[in-house]
Amino acid sequence: MSSLSREHLTDLTRGVGLRQIRIVSGVVLFAYLLSHFLNHALGNISLEALAAGVHLHTAFWQFPPVTIVFYGACLVHTGLGIFALYQRREFRWKAIEPLQLVLGLSIPMLIIVHIVGVRLGQTLFGHQKLYPQELFLFWVSSHTRLWLMLAVLVIAWVHGCIGLYFWLRMKAFFKRAAPFLLAAAVLIPTLALLGVYQGGRSVADSDDADWRAANLSQRQVGTVL
């Protein structure tokens, strides 16, 4: 029995290559991105819906085993992207392949400020930066950061969709599913960006001394904006 299980495990590991690891890590990251976009889309309902959604989102993705898988996928996917760039030094690619690689490698550089401001601030100092604080930063305090955030959302979504297309295009069901996948690929980011707009407008309209006292305390943002 043990020899059979060992042989079976050996056969499985032989079938796992860099492409399969890249696909698995990419699917994990796309699942996080999809969850984030659906959360943003709740802004079309209200700030209260955004708050409820983000609590569910963070409860799942900050659950320790899920967090380990997520950050592991980030490191592996980024590393494999750099390795793919090294491997293909001759650049004999189809036009869409370098586009996907450039978009993917640009994401960590674009998102690092957000990670430091939100995740490290929460982990190291206990800050509670949620949608009201982030939307205030983007819509009232620093409009430049808003455009950077929108660029990250679009780039990450396009990169993920290209990766899914490369993975799914050879599947038997793809031709039947393609129209529905295309509709979702267009509709989900549209609703997410509209949700960010609606949430940001609500925060901007609510901005006064009382709102700032309630939402921009040192406990929430570290220093009053």
End-to-end CA distance of the chain: 65
Which residue shows structure tokens 């959360």?
39
More confident site: 30 or 104: 30
Query: pLDDT (tens digit, 9 = 90+) per residue, 140-153?
Result: 877 777 888 888 88
Residues in the chain: 225
pLDDT at 187 over 70: yes
Query: pLDDT (tens digit, 9 = 90+) per residue, 51-74?
Result: 899 889 888 988 999 989 998 998
More confident site: 223 or 180: 180
Residue-level pLDDT at 185: 95
Chain centroid to CA 50: how far? 16
Residue-level pLDDT at 1: 45
- Average pLDDT, stretch 206-216? 80
Residue 19 banded pLDDT, cuts 50, 70, 90:
confident
For residue 150, what are its two tokens?
A: 């929108």
- Average pLDDT, stretch 23-32? 92
pTM: 0.78
As a whole-number percent, the residues of the chain with pLDDT over 90 amount to: 26
DSSP string, 192-208: HHHHHHHHHHHHHHH-S
Q: Quick count: other Cβ atoms within 10 Å of Cβ 163?
A: 20
As a whole-number percent, the residues of the chain with pLDDT over 70 amount to: 70
More confident site: 160 or 121: 160
Is 225 strand, coil or helix?
coil
Using CA atoms, how far apart are residues 156 and 33, in angstroms rounded to an integer? 8
Query: pLDDT (tens digit, 9 = 90+) per residue, 78-133?
Result: 888 777 766 665 555 555 666 666 677 667 766 666 665 566 556 555 566 778 87
DSSP H or E stretch at residue 91? none
Chain centroid to CA 54: how far? 13
Q: Provide the b/e sequence for 48-66 (b: ≥16 CB within 10 Å).
A: ebbeebbeebeeeeeeeee
Residue 45 banded pLDDT, cuts 50, 70, 90:
very high
Residue 5 banded pLDDT, cuts 50, 70, 90:
low
Closest Cα to residue 132, out of 217, 11, 71, 62? Answer: 217
- Average pLDDT, stretch 24-43? 92
